[in-house]
Every structure is written in C-alpha cells, then in structure tokens.
Amino acid sequence: MNSIASKHFRSAVLGLSLLCSASALAQQPPHPPSPEERLAKMKTDLGLSDAQVQKIKPILEENMAKMKSLRDDKPLSEEQRREKSHAIRKAGGDAIMAELNSEQKAKFEAEQKNHRREGPPGAGEGKGPRKGPPPAAGKAE
C-alpha cells in the first residue's frame, strides 16, 4: 500500500511541476515581430510601394537592433529603460512617417494609436497598472 501511495504522490508532484512549467511558458510574452514581418504587414495595411519598402526596411532593422541592445543593458533602471524605449520608438516612427504619403500617414497614425490603446501583443497579466484596491497607507506588509 505504501508503494502505491508513493507512486501517486510522485505522479502528483510531476503533474504539478509540469503544470507550473507550462504556466510559466504561457506567461512569456511573444517575441516582437521581425522587421520583415512588420514590413509585410505595413506593405499590406498601408499599400507601400517597393521604393518605400526599401527605405523603411533599414529603419525597422535599426530599431530592432537598438531595442535588443536596450534589453541587454542590465544596469539601467526600469524607468530609464522605458524612457529610452519610448525615444527609440518615436525616432523610428518619425523616420517611417517621413517616407509615407498623406493617406499612408493617416493610416499609420491610426494604427499607432490603436496599438498604444490595446498594448503590444503579449501585454497582459503582470503588466500595466496595478489592479485591485491600493494598499493601505502606513500598513506594513
């Protein structure tokens, strides 16, 4: 009887560890789209010409490299990282806007506003403003 209980216990522990591992993987945000994926979406959504694609592709590649470098810069505080990330995105957006016609600019701006409102893919639990009531003032945890 003891060995059966032991087998059930080991099975339960293994099941829980697998469940925890799967849960941790599910919470990982998806990787940002590659410059090629972003460019393909922009080409479809904005109707970019081949000349525009050739000008915008290096902008997207440079932005991705800058963002990767920023993620790898460990000594930065979260606030510094957020500010630099915002500056990189703004500069990239401005450079892209310079290559668009007025109709494309309007569509691009609308997409950017929608993205800011909904958040990037993978933004969810654990990100953004704290949910629930604020902690009681002066109360030690």
87-122 pLDDT, tens digit per residue, is: 999 999 999 999 999 999 999 999 888 877 765 554
Alpha helices, H only, the chain: 2-27, 35-46, 50-72, 78-97, 102-118
Q: Is the pLDDT of residue 82 over 80?
A: yes
Instruction: Give the per-residue pLDDT at 83.
Output: 93
User: How does the average pLDDT of the chain come out, rounded?
Assistant: 77
Give this prediction's pTM.
0.61
Show me where the domains of the chain are located: 32-118
Q: What is the rounded average pLDDT of the residues 36-61? A: 94
Q: What is the rounded average pLDDT of the residues 5-17? A: 66
